[in-house]
Structure 1
């Protein structure tokens, strides 16, 4: 009876398994169609306005600059804003040689297809518990709401997140080399996935660490095979100079992180103090992931926790977190929202996190709220806090329940042994 009452209160429950299966399949198709519609809309935009509100020209121009032996990182002269690795500039050549519209369409198709595949793998391989097709459809739709803006601007964040998910799935299946190269590929697009690699290497030091280092080294090599040695060395030196020079501490208008929270509430934070904050939060993230390895009742719970911790650290105090970087939070916040209703676990926290990170955190809503809430630019980073709190409470609650079940089973076995002895 208690199961029936719980099920009837669950909005993601169907009374008939057959109805659930058929309805779930229909909604899953609808969710995939919505993602296809997004690709069509972006494709039309690339045909009509290939360079408007898009970073695709930055990527394509940098690939052209690579083959012309121009400085990829001279943003004053070429104004591309490029800050990715030479390997990424080389790899993007397959799109840069095409007309801008066609290249943008294919680049978007790659990002959307890999992201959708990653989202479905999260449900199938990583997220704990059993998921129905209806719940998977809801997850895809909720994630779409938070990913649309970044995909519209042809950002690479969806590709980075997909590579991170593929790496975690490979680790779960103990495919060490695949995981190492996937993580290395993500790092050669944007450096900050190295934080995820470090968190995972704490759990798999011998299996992952040497392979990851080797994979990163291997992916440095391709540029040297295409241009003269002095030119490539200078490109890497210029890249290093960009990442470690004044640009590192330059505050741009689109950044959204803990620094933004301090700014919006009138607190000045010295760059050195903020660096210490970043390192301190990284240490806390590492400690939490070590605890996850001890208390998680399954590898799925552990990997989900590590992904969530990495995303929260990156978006709150990580380097170069822009508004569009919050695409990373959309799948995690959507997972938390669905699970909070599915398991009746602290719904308020999950709802608040999802609302702050997705609808309330968009640029349009932020500008709309500015006249009445001057601190509205801080909504996005503030939304990370309830998400991380929800994850900690969720994992700790499940750990306590597992301990209680194990204790009850032990007591039951002892009682049976005592009864037999008597």
Structure 2
């Protein structure tokens, strides 16, 4: 099959809506790659930070500075095993590696979205549902894929993990949770919530996978070098306090929301809030398991909770981090076309999506984006979504019904 025939096969037999969605994604990713080819290496992308970490790993150079740096320093913030994973990129031309990195992120995100949709449905989902999800995600995902951050990869792995648990593929679920957690520590919230639903099946598997992931760098590099990198990484993780950086560089999370709209709170108080909220989410999920709530229904709730905690209550939330919340919000938007969704939950899902999309669109005009960001619109949207999620969970009478609706009733969505 020629390239032209392959492209034709992608479009033939599909509805106009489906062809439009495919065209937009292909066009968007193509524009990103063309921009990479035209701009100077390292322009408007974070990939050089990852690539340099891979080079430093190979050469045995410190991955982290000896002293904690300010917000203007392009710091590598990830674990040593992540740097080792980027070592193969060090032998590739910068632009080639950057392009591959974008495709990895986009591929894992798209696969994760479709995989979890298929996994939590009581019957095979239609193409209309898949393309509706991709259409809603497109305007919010593309800008994040453009800057080279790894949020798309993180949430894609989390989605695959939740989908795999619904299919009882425990090793795959534990593996994806481990990779996501080693990449950015806060996905451990997703792991713990899923373990609360399936403690025997996932608890030991996840613990062993994390232990192997943490020990792997010692096999790949000099022992003393790796130990020192872990020490530097731990020092940075414990000592960094972005609340002292000023509101322009501070985390876009619940602390910002409280600081802007109520009164400033200390970093210590916020850490207690983070732990308390995470604990409350865990108790709700465990309570549902004890009461015999359907595991798939609980999986939907846990995924929503995890997405909210990793963004609104996360330890290092920037504006692009809210891509992690978007699949669940998009899922909620699709479900508003399904009758069982509570009217108040529908309103919350739509409002949250509108706020997040509005801030994304405002990025075309810098001053408006800055104003909305500093008004803590994103964490506010996350709380609104959480309220809708809770309303939907507790208002449903059928304890075996997925929170976001019965997906097989959605073919009319894209008709």
TM-score range, shorter chain: 0.7 to 0.9
Shift of 1:90: 0.8
1:350 matched to 2:349? yes
Alpha-carbon separation, structure 2, partners of 1:206 and 1:45: 48
For 2:390, which of 372, 389, 392 is the aligned residue? Answer: 392
1:48 matched to 2:38? yes
Question: Contact 1:259 / 1:269 at 8 angstroms: preserved in 2?
Answer: yes
Shift of 1:101: 0.9
Unaligned runs of 5+ in 1: 1-21, 404-422
For 1:35, which of 11, 25, 28 is the aligned residue? Answer: 25
Alpha-carbon separation, structure 2, partners of 1:45 and 1:218: 38
Q: Name the counterpart of 2:139.
A: 145
Query: What SS does the corresponding residue of 1:342 show, helix, strand or coil?
Result: coil
Higher alpha-carbon deviation: 190-199 or 73-82: 73-82
1:272 matched to 2:276? no
CA shift in 2, pair 1:28/1:292, >3 Å: farther
CA shift in 2, pair 1:247/1:374, >3 Å: closer
CA shift in 2, pair 1:366/1:278, >3 Å: farther
CA shift in 2, pair 1:70/1:249, >3 Å: farther
For 1:313, which of 309, 312, 332 is the aligned residue? Answer: 309
Question: Contact 2:359 / 2:372 at 8 angstroms: preserved in 1?
Answer: no
Q: Name the counterpart of 1:194.
A: 188
Q: C-alpha root-mean-square deviation of aligned residues, in Å?
A: 2.8
Q: Name the counterpart of 2:176.
A: 182
Alpha-carbon separation, structure 2, partners of 1:299 and 1:243: 35
Deviations 1:189-212 (A, max 9, x none): 000011111111222222211211
TM-score (norm: length of structure 1): 0.83
Q: Name the counterpart of 1:285.
A: 281
CA shift in 2, pair 1:127/1:302, >3 Å: farther
1:163 matched to 2:153? no
Deviations 1:362-419 (A, max 9, x none): 5527845479x67753111100122111111112222x2459xxxxxxxxxxxxxxxx
CA shift in 2, pair 1:152/1:116, >3 Å: same
Alignment of 1:98-177 (within 5 A): 98-126=92-120, 131-177=125-171
Q: Name the counterpart of 2:208.
A: 214
Q: Name the counterpart of 1:15.
A: none
TM-score (norm: length of structure 2): 0.84
Question: Contact 1:203 / 1:293 at 8 angstroms: preserved in 2?
Answer: yes
Shift of 1:179: 1.7
Deviations 1:144-171 (A, max 9, x none): 1221221110111111111111211222
Shift of 1:255: 2.3
Alpha-carbon separation, structure 1, partners of 2:299 and 2:14: 26
Alpha-carbon separation, structure 2, partners of 1:366 and 1:313: 29
Shift of 1:236: 0.9
Alpha-carbon separation, structure 2, partners of 1:65 and 1:319: 26
Q: Name the counterpart of 1:333.
A: 329
Unaligned runs of 5+ in 2: 1-11, 401-415
Query: How many correspondences in the alignment?
Result: 381
Q: Name the counterpart of 1:224.
A: 218
Alpha-carbon separation, structure 2, partners of 1:129 and 1:146: 28
Query: What SS does the corresponding residue of 1:51 show, helix, strand or coil?
Result: coil
Shift of 1:52: 2.0
Bigger radius of gyration among the two = 1
CA shift in 2, pair 1:226/1:102, >3 Å: same
Alpha-carbon separation, structure 2, partners of 1:370 and 1:144: 19
Alpha-carbon separation, structure 1, partners of 2:18 and 2:334: 15
